[in-house]
Structures are given as structure tokens and as C-alpha cells.
Chains A and B, each alone.
Chain A
Amino acid sequence: MRGMNRRTFGLMAGAASMTLAAPMIARTQTKPRVVVIGGGSGGATAARYIAQDSENAIDVTLVEMNQEYTTCYFSNLYFGGFRTFESITHSYDRLASGYGVTMAFAMATGIDRDAKTVPLSDGSSVPYDKLVISPGIDLIYDSVDGYSKEVEGDIPHSWKPGEQTRIMKAQLDALEDGQNIVMVAPPNPYRCPPGPYERISMFAHMLKSKGYSDSTITILDPKPKFSKQGLFQAGWEQHYPGMVEWLGPDVHGGIKGIDPSTKTVMTDLDDFEADMLTVIPKQKAGAIATDAGLANDSGFCPIDPYTMKAQGNDDIYILGDASIAGDMPKSGFSANSQAKVAAMSVRHELIDSRMFPARYSNTCWSLIATDDGVKVGAQYSPTDEKIASTSSFISQNGESAEVRKETYEESIGWYKGITTDMFGTT
């Protein structure tokens, strides 16, 4: 999109949609069809908004492997004992019954871009006029030497929700006083920048609330700094003095790998042996996107900042963690925000509904301890280069307990809000 401003792009997109939409409708004599792959924050939101706002003028199919969706966000609060597993798990029923979305519980095995169909694991295939992909991330297990999918049951990453979430909770609950946790944190860019550190906070909260005084938690981080670092480190000092230790590359000198059999992490500085070891490896866009050739060398997918279309594609949109969304972090809030821009573009091109300038926003709340919530947020606008941050805020150290409690309560409201926004009202 370099060298093209929004207006000229809109004109071209409009022209393209006319030439595409007319023969398509003439050919099939059916409603335009949208297929959405991935029922998370990006995909579920896109499916709902396209179906709802087109008032039945567009057929929407949502392809999703799982019958239920467990959110990654607030899974840390499950570890900390603030939420149940059930409370972070949601049904797709309302998307079907309330908004007319067709649910296809299967795995999309590929994308046939010439035939414009998505083959599914059950042998069927779904045709599309517009395709929205929101596949989330895949883990590059061997980015940490010695780590593999085979050992994830013993050394959980829990960076994809579901079974992994339960495994990690069981391991945490089984720890005894004096036993230690070691986390290998991920390199940028990754899903949920404050997530590993909120997770550490919730681990510490659990150990503290059980009265443990001899257990320690060590974070071995390939990054020299991390999201909300000042807030987390001040919080750890305040709530869990002496329990949490963060070591950046300047201290450990480099993470050489792990020995899964002994749960040991080898670094240039020393070997770290854990009773509970968790590794969050490097990440890339979900396989469906990379297999379709939509990712670049970074492992993620470039997009058009004005529409969330896959760069160079007029009929494929990419949302959420899999996309390269400029200054936006990989978060559920971001994916939800991007989905609304994509939904508007899809409707505009298929049924000529009104197109408004794209707007994006994000806020990430993190819980450090009981009633001690912090947040960071920003607004973004599309430019020819990227989705660019226009203004931002972050919680401050020294805020009153009352403000922190309000921030936590607000995060609960947000969780209810975004899950209602994604899955519809019950």
C-alpha cells in the first residue's frame, strides 16, 4: 500500500468489489459466502459482526476445531485461584442460534485459493467469496533446544488454552513448600506481551496464599526488558518479597537449552534445576496461514492496515496474533478490534454497506495480586506503512490501592464485555 493513500485505496477496493461481486452473484444465484477460520477473539467477532450487521444477506460459516472455546486471557487468573476453568470456557451456541452463523466443527486442512474453497478434515469443503483467517499462533518448540511437543505434558507451555491450561494448574497445585518454579520466557513478538509476567504473579500468589516461604520462582528471559516491567517488578517486591527473580540476558548470558529429563535449563551463567518447569517458546502464525504462503520471513502475515486484508490479496483477511499489525500487540482485545474493521470491509465489498475509516484500539489488564490490577492501552490508526499507535497510557507505580482495585474490577467487566461481544448475548 506504499504510495497509496486511503482515499485512492478505497476507490480501488470499491471498483474491485463491483467487478468481483456482480459476476459472482450472477454465477451462483446465492447469497455471498464468507468463511471464517478460527473461532477465537478475531474469528468469532468477525463471524458475529458480519452475520449480525448484514442481516442475513451474507452466509457466514465459522470453521473451528473445538466445540467450546477456552480463553487464553484470564487463564492466569485460573492459576491464581480467581477464576474457575468453566468461567473461562464459552459455547458457540449463540453464534448459530442468535446470529445465523453456520458452525463447522472441523479442522481446515488448507486453502484452495484458485477454487476459493476451504477443504475440511471431515472430507467436505466450504466455498467462499471472502475468507477471514484468524488462526492464532503455532509454537516453534525447538526454538528452545531440548523442548518438543512430546514433552509438553510434563513441561507445559500453556500458551494455547485448553488441556495445557489444566496440566499447568495441576502441576502448580501439587507443588510443596521449598519446591521451585522456573519459566523460560518467549522472545518477541509473541501472544500477550504481559502474559508471562502476570502468570508469574499468579504462581506467586498461589504459593504465598498456601503459606509457602521457601519456594522460589525464576524467570529466564531472552529479552532485556518486558511489558509493564516496572509495574510487575514493583508488585513482586511488594507482595512476594524474595520469591520472584527475573533474569535477563545480561545476567544469564544466553539460554542454551533444556534437559527435559531433569527439568534443567542450561544458560551461560549456570544450570537452573526446577521442580516445575514451563517453557514458552518462540511463535509464528498458525499453520493454515503459513501453509497458504501468507506469512513472510518473520513467520507472521503482513496485512493492509486499512482493511486487515492479507497483503496482496483481495479476498483474504488475516486477524489477530497471526498478523503483523504494526504497533498493536498480539492480544485478544487487538484481534477483536481488528475483526470489526475486517467485518466492515467484507460487508462493504459484498453487499455495498457503508465503509468508514478503520479504527483500532487495545487495552491489556494484568493482575499482580489480590485487588492489585494494572493496565496498558493505546489507540491506533492505519497509515500506508503500518497500523501506528496514536496515543497511549499505562498504570503508574504509586497508584493508590483503591485505583488498583478499580482496575481489577474493570478487567472483570472487560472480560464479560469482550466474551459477550464475541459469542453474543445469552
Chain B
Amino acid sequence: MRELAPSTRMELQRGGKSPEQEEAEETFPREEPMRHRQGGKAASTSVVQRARFIAVAMGFVGLYLSMAGAVWAEPANGDVERGEAEFRNCIQCHKTGPGTGHGIGPNLHDVIGRRAGVLPDFRYSRALVAAGGLGLAWTAEALDAFIANPRQNVPGNRMSFRGVDDPQKRADLVAFLATLTGEAQARAVAVSDDVDGPATEIGASAMAIEGDSAYGEYLAAECLTCHQATGETDGIPGIVGWDRKVFIRALFEYKTNVRTHQVMQLMTTNLGDEEIAALAAYFETLDAQ
């Protein structure tokens, strides 16, 4: 009947069409790594390692995490130094020095105890402003719950971050955030302010160009297939209203494999300085809703 010995079937499957026929019938790229870049492999390894580490960490704390905040473990004792190291994942978006302005996210100086959504010169999501209005303030406990799963904790907010599962890491982060007060300048600040730093910075060539916003609007159509024009996030980060330097820097980091994401690395391959400057100029003009 229809059963064939597996080995026979394998041999049959291997025999076949000529390469030309196969080429003609292939409508999709072949299975090979990003062939247009060389740095990708080493960079993606680190992502895998990080993912493995997170997977292991999740294994340890999985049970009560699955209860999604209903039950919290005994508050862990935070370690400032470990927290500062962990905070390097946050500095793409958050500045920490007093009076240094905002990145993609609000400045976190003096965040402990602050009511949510109140910094006058930062464009918050409506959700966060509303939460602040209803009394949300960034106590250590509130920060811990928020960092665990930002999207679930304040639904509708625009922070494009999956969350930190490990309660110890959250405690470390909160301990570090608690030091960002008064005139204190944490060591991490120097890194986070690189966007306004020296001329050798990544993306400087595009930052020197005045972006053509009309060109940017056309190019942006390509982004809006995935990134919503409202700034809403549903598994894909919101990108409207970003400071242009932050925006340019992010795209250059994809171009040069500092950030690894297959779609974004692909999308930035055909974007030159002029295109990136134009996109940054256009998206800066959009208001998140």
C-alpha cells in the first residue's frame, strides 16, 4: 500500500530535478545566513547565549512567575553594582543624569517616589499619564512589578521591553535606580549620554545631514507595514516621536550589527545616510497617540 520503507523514500526524495529546474521553481531565498554581512554570526551568538541564560533563569523562577504578579517572592536584596551592570540593557532608551534630557524613554534621575507620567518635557503614552493620575507612583515595589512585565503592568504604555523575569535582577535594578538622586552621577550615565557625544559616534555622518522630511515620509511607508504610526506597540516597538539622534543611532546599530535583528538588519542595508536622516526627520515630527 502507501507505506514505503523510510530509507527508500529518502533515496527517492534525494533524486531529482536538475538545478536549473529547481532554480526556476524557487520563489524564496535559499536557506543561508545573511549573506550580505560578515559580522552577523559572532553578534548573533551572543543573542543566543543571552537567550539561553534567560531560559535557565526562567526555569528557576518559572512557577511563581506564571502567576503573573499575584504572588511575589520575598523581596530580594538588591545589589547596586550588579544593578548598574544590568542597567546597560536600558541605556539604549533611558538617560539617567540630572538635566541631561530624555532618550526614547524618560530620564530616570530621581525616579524613585516620582508619580508616573509627570515629567513635563517628555511625551508619555496616555496610558502612563492616566496611571499616574490614578495614583501610580514609582515606589520600589511599583518599579519591581513594572519591570517584570511593562506591557502587562500598565497596558497600552509604549515601553518596548519584554520585562525582566528574574526577581534578583529586578531588585538589583531597583537598587541601582535608587542611587540616581540628587547630584549623584552613576557611572552608567557616561555611556547613556553617548548620543550627544563626540564626532566619532556611530551614525555621525547621517546626523550631520538635515533630513528631507518629505523623502522620509515616503520611506516611512516601508516601516509602517510593521511599526504602527500611532506609536502603539504589539510585539513590535513604537518608533514615532523619537529624538532624531537616537533614531539615527539605532538604525546605524542595525546596519553595523551592533544590534541584531534579521528584519531590521535587512531593512537598513539599503538605507544610506540621506535615507536614515530623512526617516529620522520624519518620525520625529509624528506624535504618538
Contacts and interface: CB of A to CB of B under 8 A. Distances in A.
Interface stretch (B27-35, B75-83, B132-140): B27-35
A337 interface: yes
Given A224-B16, A269-B2, A337 B270 contact: no
Interface string B175-191: 00000000000000000
Contacts, number: 165
A251 B222 contact: no
Contact of A414 (B22, B33, B226): B226
**What is the size category of the interface that chain B forms with chain A?**
35 or more
A225 B2 contact: no
B100 to A, nearest CB: 31
B276 interface: no
A420 B230 contact: yes
A251 B232 CA distance: 49
A270 B270 contact: no
B235 A409 contact: yes
A411 B234 CA distance: 9
Contact of A354 (B15, B22, B48, B214): B214
Given A223-B25, A417-B236, A402 B55 contact: yes
B73 interface: no
A292 interface: no
Given A248-B13, A393-B34, A49 B221 contact: yes
Contacts of A248: 13
A251 B9 contact: yes
Contacts of A193: 27-28
B61 interface: no
A425 B48 CA distance: 36
A272 B3 CA distance: 11
B263 interface: yes
Interface of A: 49, 53, 188-189, 193-194, 223-225, 227-231, 247-248, 250-251, 269-272, 327, 329, 333, 336-337, 340, 344, 354, 356, 359, 361, 363, 375-379, 381, 389-396, 399-403, 409-414, 416-418, 420-421, 425
Interface of B: 1-2, 4, 9, 12-17, 21-22, 25-36, 47-48, 51-52, 54-55, 214-215, 217-219, 221-222, 224-230, 232-236, 262-263, 265-267, 269-270, 289
Given A248-B13, A392-B35, A421-B225, 6 more contacts: A247-B9, A269-B4, A400-B52, A409-B235, A414-B236, A417-B225
